[in-house]
Amino acid sequence: MSISPLPMPVVRGRIDIAAIRREQIVEAAIDIIAHHGLHHLSLSKIEHATGMKRGQLTYYFRQKEDILLAVFDRLLLLMYQRMEAQDGPREEMERTHSSWEMVHKLLLMVLGPPRPGDLGPEFHALQHTFLAQMAHREDFRQRLAFLYEDWRSHAAEHWKRTARHVTPLARSVSPRTLASFMQAIIHGLFMQMAADPDAIDRKEMLKLCIGVLAPLFGGDAPRRKAKENDRE
Helix/strand/coil (H, E, C) string of the chain? CCCCCCCCCEECCEECHHHHHHHHHHHHHHHHHHHHCHHHCCHHHHHHHHCCCHHHHHHHCCCHHHHHHHHHHHHHHHHHHHHHHHHCCHHHHHHHCCHHHHHHHHHHHHHCCCCCCCCCHHHHHHHHHHHHCCCCCHHHHHHHHHHHHHHHHHHHHHHHHHCCCCCHHHHCCCHHHHHHHHHHHHHHHHHHHHHCCCCCCHHHHHHHHHHHHHHHCCCCCCHHHHHHHHHC
CA distance 138 to 134: 6
Q: What is the pLDDT, as a whole number, of residue 92? A: 65
Question: What is the pLDDT at residue 40?
Answer: 83
The CATH 1.10.357.10 domain(s) of the chain lie at 1-88
Residue 10 β-bridge partners: 15
- Residue 180's pLDDT is 94
Nearest residue to 110 (alpha-carbon basis) of 193, 228, 178: 193
Which pLDDT score is estimated for 115? 62
pLDDT at 227: 46
Q: What pLDDT shows up at residue 33?
A: 80
Please tell me the predicted confidence (pLDDT) of residue 14. Answer: 65
pLDDT digits (tens, 9 = 90+) for 166-200: 889 988 999 999 999 998 998 888 778 877 878 88
CATH topology of domain 1-88: Tetracycline Repressor; domain 2 (1.10.357)
State how far Cα 69 lies from the chain centre: 15
Stretches where the chain sits below pLDDT 50 are 1-8, 10-11, 221-232
